[in-house]
Structure 1
Amino acid sequence: MVSETMPSGTVPSQSPHGEFGLIARYFTPPPPGPDAGVALGVGDDCSLLVPAAGRQLVVSVDTSVAGIHYPEDAPADAVGHRALAVSLSDLAAMGARARWCLMALTLAEVDEAWLDGFSRGFRALAEASGTALVGGDVTRGATAIGVTVMGEVAPGAALTRHGGRPGDLVAVTGALGGGGGGLALWERGERDPSHPLLVRYLRPQPRLAAGEALVGLATAAIDVSDGLLADLGHLLERTGLGASLVPEALPLAEGLIEALGEEEARQAALTGGDDYELLLALPGECIDEARARLAALGLPLTVIGRLETEPGLRGVEDQWEGGWQHFHGRSSPGESP
């Protein structure tokens, strides 16, 4: 990694268990290829990156804290995957191509088996998404993972939250409620790593290809991280518009009703969070083309409502309004007040 800004306690930094040793063993990728845009990567005070000519840089950062954003006993490889996935999801919502990432890892102690699994999960998603790890930090303290991602988009092409217009259709990729359902099952003791709801919760898939495919069609976008209603609220706040939803149209994650019952399943889809699907505004004349582009990626697109001039949200019951907010005591799957 590129920065060692805090001490490693009594462990010498050059030892196998010191920060430099851990970086060398777990977080130093092979030399980047000629198309990676990395002039200088891990091992110096800073990285030197080479954005493509004529592209805008898209940057986002997220922090994952043990016991808040993921269960403390979650599999280490899932924690590594998830830490990167939630940041990449922000790039997907902007229609950006992922390029690079930085990772700051704070650990209470050195657990080599955990580090091996964590780095394996992180690295696998980085490779699958074309994201080069180019630096970061390892230090001692309460376990937390900070990931900064960087991507590229053509000037003026980025999807934003504020572009929606009255009459645009509200649509969502994939299926909803898997994050909430997965956490509910985890808390009830389910540990089958192949259960579809646990897969959705522990190993979410950032919709990078979908975001890029919808550039030029969608007028607004946001990723569903805090819950459908909360994230739709963020989008409406930026546009100054309102919306009507059809809750019966929500695409529910596989096995959700069987696991939670229909009422709780629909509540998880509306307020649960941790789904990391894309919530979009699309002109009606673009919906068929948008569906065709996503179908080529094996991903469905479901219309669940419409933007309207009148502010406010219609079509949902008051008790289903909510979503995650830090410091406000309203919780969602994966996070505690």
Structure 2
Amino acid sequence: MSIQENFCPKCGGKTENEGLCNKCLRSSVEWLVCEPRVQCVFCPTCGSIRKGSIWTDVPYERMKLAEELAFEAVAVHNDVQDLELGITMTEPTPNRTLCTVYIRGTLFGEPVYKTCEVLIVWRKEQCDRCSRLSGGYYESIIQVRATGRRPDLYERQRVDKIAHEVEDSTQESGERLSFITRIDDIRDGVDIVVSSHNIGDTIARQIVTEMGGKITRHPKLVGEREGKKLYRITLLLRLPQFRKGDVITHKDRYYEVRGTDSGLLRVFDLREGISNVLHDDSGYRLIGNVREAETADVTYIDQDMAGILDPVSYEIREVKAHAWLRLTDHEKVRILRDPEGGELILVG
């Protein structure tokens, strides 16, 4: 048996390859390319980072980001195996981070090792969202009003919370240019000024879903951008005359309002203990809201009558013990007072 030996045509040394030996192959390949300078643009207000023309809201820790940018600046040949990377960093100035990257591996069976330096340049630039926010940019205004009255404190606070919940959800879904520019609490209600039509529509729909009411749209042409007409839209949102939890009286009966639907009141009959539907008209008198109910003690039950200890006068007041309440001696019950006559109304 004869063994044919191969020789490298470049150095003349023996090789197992058909052609150049591993050492000459390695020396002929530029196995490492390193960008000496990388610029990172970030917003000093919110911390978002610009990649190309796109801003991202990915939170970062500066040194961790510098490490990622330095590694991204290093391009290693595909034939390098057993790759190991290391890094050290120094900050010569507040806007510069100097990274020394250590690269070790195996190329064509031969160990390779190099170091390279990457300078990270940090550049501040206000992002598109913060620029719009600081300039008071807006595309929609949601005017929250109430029919025949002014929104109360609870409604104003709830509207504010709904608006911010929608904003958080919208931001998380990636619509970074949809935000609340400001919220104005005024005498007649609440004005929510927002940066996009989409977030304005979403907030208005969410308020109506939870609190009832009607929405009317009033667009106004304000200009053009890239050949498209630009509109600012005022969304007039009218909350119902009665709120959820309001107790009203009609034809000697008391009802708790549970909601409104297309000109109808969904109510709970406080005498019969059943749900009902009434037409939303002006024939009702407001007693109060169950959120404002007082707590009183039941002192005794006598068939269909109950003795209630008035928490203000400390007198025993007899009221109808409606079956749906299932009252027992010495328990607590919530009451409202009818301002006309002072009758105690049991609400649960």
TM category (shorter chain) comes to under 0.3
**More strand per residue:** 2
**More helix per residue:** 1
What's the TM-score, normalizing by structure 1? 0.24
